[in-house]
Amino acid sequence: MTTVIEISGLTKNFGHVRALDGLDLAVHAGEIHGFLGPNGAGKSTTLRILLGLVRPSAGTCRIFGQSPGQAEVQRRLAYVPGDVSLWPNLTGGQIIDLLGRLRGGLDPARRADLLERFDLDPTRKARTYSKGNRQKVALIAALASNAELLLVDEPTSGLDPLMETVFADYVRDLRTEGCTVLLSSHILSEVEALADRVTLLRAGRNIETGSLAQLRHLHNTRVRAELAHPRPGLAEVPGIQDLVETDGEVGFTVATDALDRAIAELSVRGIRSLTCEPVSLEELFLAQYETPAPATPRLPEPSRS
Amino acid sequence: MTGFAGTGILLRQALRRSRWLILIITLGTWLLSWASGVATVDLYPTEAERVLANAVGNATTGVVAFYGHVDLPDSLGGLGTAKLQMIDFIVIAILVIALVRRTTRADEEAGRTELLAGTPVGRRAPLAAAVSLALLVSVVLGLGSGLFVGLSGLPWTGAWALGLAVTAVGWAFTGLTAVAVQVSASNRICGVIAFSVLGLAFLLRMVGDLRQGRPGEFLRWLSPLGWAQQVRPYNGERWWPLLLTLGLLVVSLLVADRLLATRDIGSGLLHERPGPAHSRIGSAYALAGRLQRGGVIGWALVFSAMGLVVGSLSGTIGSFLTPETIDLLRRLGGAGDVAALLTSVYALITGYLAAAFAIGAVLRLRTEEADGHSEQVLAAGVGRTALLLSHLLIAVVGVPVMLTLAAVGDYLGRLSGGEDHSLVASLTAFWVQIPAAWVLAALTVAAYALVPRLASAIGWGALTLAIILVEFVGLLKLPDWIAGLSPFRHVPKLPAESMRWAPELGLIVIGVAFLALAFSVFRRRDLPAT
Ligand SMILES: Nc1ncnc2c1ncn2[C@@H]1O[C@H](COP(=O)(O)OP(=O)(O)OP(=O)(O)O)[C@@H](O)[C@H]1O
Ligand SMILES: [Mg+2]
C-alpha cells in the first residue's frame, strides 16, 4: 500500500501561537481519510502546509513522496478551501474553467455532469451567489479535475442535505476510480458516512488514528444486564466505569481490554439478559472535545533584555 | 426619523479604520497649502511681477484648462493659489469618494453590514456614519488648508474663501457618492460612477473656463468644481456659490435616503447581468490580465486624454514670450526654452501618474492574497514566481505603453494646434520617466513580499514622498541627498535638457535589486501572510 501523504512531527508556530504541535498523519492511496477535530485544532493549517502555502516550523511532510508546493505535485491534487472566496466579477463557470485550466485541464463531460447534479447556474457572477452556491463552485472545480488527491476543507459547509448527498456520492465514485481524499471536518456524521480511516486531531496533535471500527474497538463498550443473583463487588473490577445498579439490573461502560473480565464477573451473578454495544462514535468524539484541552500551547516569549 | 441608532459607534469605527488615510492626506494638503502660500509670496514679491505672472497664466490655455482664470490682475494669491485650490479640490473629492464607499458598499460586500443587521444598529446608520465622516473630514481638511494659507502670509479673506471652497467640494462629492452607492450594482461600479462624475465635473469646469467671456462659459455652473472655484479666493471673493453646494448636498442626501429605503443591502438599483458560462483563461498571466483589464483600459484612456489635452494646449503662449515671462517661468521650475520647459513639466506629471498606475497594478497581488484568491491559484499548481510575475508584468509592460499613449496624444494635440513638432521629441520626453515609475513599482513588490500588510502604505507613501521631494525641494530647502531619494529627481528633463543615460540605468539596476529581493523572499514566506 503506497502512502500518499506522510507527515511526522509536524509543528507550526504563528508568532507565539502554536497551531500544530508534533502532528503525525499518514494517508494511504485510494482511501478516504477523515481529518476530524474541534475548531482551531489545526486542520486547515495542515492542509495549507500540504499545499506549500504555509512553511512548517519543524517536522517532515511528504506528499506523493515529495516536499509540498512543487508544480508537479500541485498538478496531481485538487483543493477546496475552508473559506471559499471567489473572484466577484467572474461567473461561476469562468472560475471553474479557470481553476481547471491552471491545473492543466478539466474533464468537460464531468463538468457538465457536476453542474447538473449540483444544480448550479454557471452564468451568474460570483458576487451574486449564495453561500452554498459559492461552495458548489469550489467543489465542482475540484471534483471535475482528474486529480489523484483531493484535499477538502469542510467541503459541505453551507450545502443543503440534498447537496451533501450529491457530494458524498461523488466522492465515493471518485474512490472507486482510485482517487485519494483527505476530508477535513468537524462534523462526525459526514466523516462517518464517507471515511475509511480517521485521524482525530486536538490542539495541533493527533490523538487517534485508525478505521472507525478500530477506533470503536479501542474504546468502551456499554453493557446492560439483568442478574439473577446480584451482589456487590462490580465496582472494584478494573476497567468498569459509570456503574449503575438498581434491583437486579446493572449498567456500566467498560474498556475493551477489560470486557472479558467484566463478563466473567457478570456470569458469576447469573446473567438473565445482556446487551453490549459500542459507545457511539458521537459520544467518543464529544468526549474527546470535552476533556479539558491542554491550555492553548504558547511558546515562551523571547526574553527581553 | 428613525433608523439612525448606532451611527455614533459606526462613525468612530469608520474613523478608526481610515485614520491613517485621513491623517496622511490631511497633513499633506495642509503642508502643500502652507508651502504654496510661502512660494507665492517669495516668487512674486512686486506687483509688477504679479500682474505679469497672472497675465501669462491667463494667456496659457494649459494653465487655464487646469487651474482657471485669475481675473484680478494684481491679485497676490492669484496664480499660486489657483493652482493650489484645484489640487485641493481633486484631493478632497477623491478622499470623500473613498471614505463613503469604504463605509457603505465595501462593508456590505464584505458581509460586515449583515453582521450589524443582527444588532439594534439602524438601517440608516451605515450611510449616516459614512456621510458624517466625509463631511467632517471635508471641514477639517478644507478649513485647515485655509488656515495654513493664511499663516503662510497671504491675506486672510482669501484664505478662508479657499478653505470654504475646498470644504464645499468635499460636501458636494459626499452627497453625490452617497447617491452613487445606492445606485450601483457593486462597490467597483460605484467607484467607476463616482470617478466619472468627478471627471465630468472637471471637464465642464475646464470647458467653461476656456470659453470665459464667450458662449459656453455657463458650463462651469453645471459643475460642483466650478461652483467652488467661483467662490474666487484671491480673485474677488464672493460667498453665494457656497449655497449651491449646500443645496446639492441636501438634495442628494434626500435622494440617497429614499433610494436606500427601496434597495436591498448588498445590491444596488442596477442589477448584475449574467455572464459567460465558460472561460478561456488558462494561466496566471491570463488571469492577472483579466482581473486588471478594466483598470488598464481606464488608465489607458486617462493617459491618452492627458497627452491630447497637454499637447493641444501647451503651444499657445503666443505673444507673451517676453524675456521677463521666460525668466519667470524658469523660476517656476527648470531650464530650457518655454515650450520645452512646459513639455518636460507635463511629462514629469505624467511620470507620476505612470508610477501610480504601476503601484496600483502590483498592489493587486496584495488584495488577491487577502481575499483568499492567491491561495486557490497556488493550490491549482501555479508557481509562486509565476504568480508574482503575472501582476508585475502588467506594471512593467504597462508603464511604457501608458507613457507612449500620452506621448502620441501630446504629438497629435500639437499637430492639431498647428505646431511644428516631432513625434520623437514627444516620445523621448515621456519615455525618460519609465525607469522612475518602474523603481517605485519594484519597491512596492518588495514591500509586498516582505511585509504584505504594509505594502499599500509603503507603495503609496513612497510615491507621495517622491513627488513632494521633487516639487518642494526648493521651498523646503532640503539638502541635495535627501531630494535625491526621489527617483524622479534623477530623470533628465527632456527636451529642455539633454539625455543622460547613467541615472536612468542606475534606476533600472536599483529596480532589479528590489525585484531580486522580492522574488527570493516571496518564495519562502507563508501565504496568506501572518
Ligand atoms: N495565519 C495565522 N496567524 C496566527 N494564527 C493562526 C493563523 N492561522 C491559524 N492560526 C491559529 O492556528 C490554530 C489552528 O488553526 P486552523 O485554522 O488550522 O484550525 P482548524 O482546525 O482548521 O479550525 P476550524 O475547524 O475552525 O476551521 C488556531 O489556533 C488559529 O488561531
Ligand atoms: Mg479550518
Of B239, B267, B295, the position where a domain reaches its end is B267
- Cis before A108 (ω within 30): no
- pLDDT tens profile B204-257: 998 888 888 888 889 999 999 999 999 999 888 899 999 999 999 999 999 999
Residue B392 identity? L
The contacts of residue A141 (CB under 8 Å, 6+ apart) are A78, A80, A95, A96, A99, A100, A106
| Same domain, residue pair B330 and B246 | no
- The chain-wide mean pLDDT, for chain B, equals 86
Smallest CA–CA separation between B286 and chain A, in Å? 10
Q: How far is Cα A69 from Cα A53, in angstroms, rounded to an integer?
A: 7
Tell me: pLDDT of B30 over 90: yes
- pLDDT tens profile B344-366: 878 888 999 999 999 999 999 99
| Same domain, residue pair B4 and B75 | yes
pLDDT more than 70, % of chain B? 89
Strand order in the sheet with A271-278: A240-246, A249-254, A221-227, A271-278
B13 in a domain, yes or no?
yes
Q: Please state the rounded mean pLDDT for residues B108-131.
A: 78
CA geometry: angle B460, B63, B41, nearest 5 deg: 80
Nearest Cα to B515, choosing from B452, B455, B439? B439
Asked if B380 lies within 8 A of A55 by C-beta distance, the reply is no
Cα-trace Rg, chain A: 24
Strand order in the sheet with A77-80: A77-80, A149-153, A180-185, A32-36, A197-202, A205-211
B495 close to B422: Cβ distance less than 8 angstroms? no
- Give, for ligand 1, the residue of A11, A16, A17, A202 to mutate: max count of ligand atoms closer than 8 Å to Cβ: A17
Of B267, B302, B334, the position where a domain reaches its end is B267
* Closest protein CA for atom 16 of ligand 1: A42
Nearest Cα to A179, choosing from A26, A25, A4, A47? A4
Q: Please state the rounded mean pLDDT for residues A62-67.
A: 93
The contacts of residue B105 (CB under 8 Å, 6+ apart) are B181, B184, B186, B187, B190
Q: Say whether residue B275 is in contact with chain A using an 8 A CB cutoff.
A: yes
- pLDDT tens profile A73-119: 888 999 999 888 888 888 999 999 988 888 888 889 999 999 999 99
B248 close to B228: Cβ distance less than 8 angstroms? no
B399 close to B434: Cβ distance less than 8 angstroms? yes
DSSP calls for A114-154: HHHHHT--TTSBGGG--HHHHHHHHHHHHHTS--SEEEEES
B272 in a domain, yes or no?
no
Tell me: pLDDT of B468 over 70: yes
| Same domain, residue pair B78 and B132 | yes
- pLDDT tens profile A161-179: 999 999 999 999 999 999 9
Asked if B275 lies within 8 A of A104 by C-beta distance, the reply is no
| Same domain, residue pair B128 and B250 | yes
In this structure, which ligand is nearest to the CA of A42?
A: 1
The residue that leads in pLDDT, B130 or A214, is B130
Q: Say whether residue B382 is in contact with chain A using an 8 A CB cutoff.
A: yes
Q: And the C-alpha cell for B15?
A: 474613523
pLDDT score for B1: 64
Mutate to test the interface with A, among B186, B279, B285 (most CBs of A within 10 A): B279
**Residues in contact with ligand 1 (CB, 6 Å cut-off):** A 14, 17, 19, 37, 39-45, 82, 186; B 530
pLDDT more than 90, % of chain B? 47
Option in B278, B376, B525 nearest A81 (CB): B376
The contacts of residue B146 (CB under 8 Å, 6+ apart) are B33, B159, B160, B161, B162, B163, B164, B166
Confidence grade of residue A303 (pLDDT, cut at 50, 70, 90): very low
Which of A51-55, B27-31, B320-324, B401-405 shows the lowest per-residue confidence on average (mean pLDDT)? B320-324
B509 in a domain, yes or no?
yes
Asked if B530 lies within 8 A of A14 by C-beta distance, the reply is yes
Please measure the distance between the N-terminal and C-terminal CA atoms of chain A and give it in whole angstroms: 53
Q: Left (φ > 0), alpha (ψ -120 to 50) or beta: where does A297 sit? A: beta
The total number of structural domains that make up chain B? 2
Asked if B373 lies within 8 A of A90 by C-beta distance, the reply is no
B86 in a domain, yes or no?
yes
| Same domain, residue pair B148 and B58 | yes
Question: Domain range spanning residue B478?
Answer: 285-530
Residues of B in contact with A123 (CB under 8 A): 274-277
- pLDDT tens profile B477-488: 678 888 889 999
Q: How far is CA A65 from CA A24, A77, B53, in A?
A: 15, 13, 76
Which of A45-54, A271-280, B161-170, B306-315 shows the lowest per-residue confidence on average (mean pLDDT)? B306-315
| Same domain, residue pair B186 and B227 | yes
B158 in a domain, yes or no?
yes
Residues of A in contact with B528 (CB under 8 A): 53
Confidence grade of residue B329 (pLDDT, cut at 50, 70, 90): low
Which of A137-141, A152-156, B289-293, B320-324 shows the lowest per-residue confidence on average (mean pLDDT)? B320-324
Tell me: pLDDT of A39 over 70: yes
Tell me: pLDDT of A304 over 50: no
Q: How far is Cα A71 from Cα B24, in angstroms, rounded to an integer?
A: 43
Nearest Cα to B288, choosing from B390, B142, B198, B432? B390
DSSP calls for A155-210: TTTT--HHHHHHHHHHHHHHHHTT-EEEEEES-HHHHHHH-SEEEEEETTEEEEEE
CA atoms within 13 Å, Cβ hemisphere of B309: 18
| Same domain, residue pair B113 and B180 | yes
| Same domain, residue pair B66 and B179 | yes
Q: And the C-alpha cell for B361?
A: 497594478
Of B212, B240, B267, the position where a domain reaches its end is B267
pLDDT score for A305: 40
| Same domain, residue pair B346 and B490 | yes
| Same domain, residue pair B166 and B28 | yes
Q: How far is Cα A11 from Cα A216, in angstroms, rounded to an integer?
A: 28
Q: Please state the rounded mean pLDDT for residues A245-250.
A: 86
β-strands A197-202, A32-36: how paired? parallel
Q: How far is Cα B109 from Cα B330, in angstroms, rounded to an integer?
A: 51
B43 in a domain, yes or no?
yes
B277 in a domain, yes or no?
no
Nearest Cα to B347, choosing from B409, B265, B267? B409
Nearest Cα to B172, choosing from B243, B85, B259, B261? B243
Cα-trace Rg, chain B: 24
Please measure the distance between the N-terminal and C-terminal CA atoms of chain B and give it in whole angstroms: 44
| Same domain, residue pair B328 and B257 | no
Q: How far is Cα A113 from Cα A120, in angstroms, rounded to an integer?
A: 11
ipTM reported for the complex, 2 dp: 0.75
pLDDT score for B77: 65
- pLDDT tens profile B137-186: 999 999 999 999 999 888 899 999 999 999 999 999 999 999 999 888 77
B279 in a domain, yes or no?
no
| Same domain, residue pair B263 and B338 | no
Q: pTM for the full model? A: 0.78
Query: What interhelical angle do B78-101 and B187-210 show, nearest 10?
Result: 160
Strand order in the sheet with A17-28: A17-28, A3-14, A58-63
Most confident of the following: A137-141, A209-213, B231-235, B280-284: A137-141
Confidence grade of residue B201 (pLDDT, cut at 50, 70, 90): very high
B278 close to A111: Cβ distance less than 8 angstroms? no
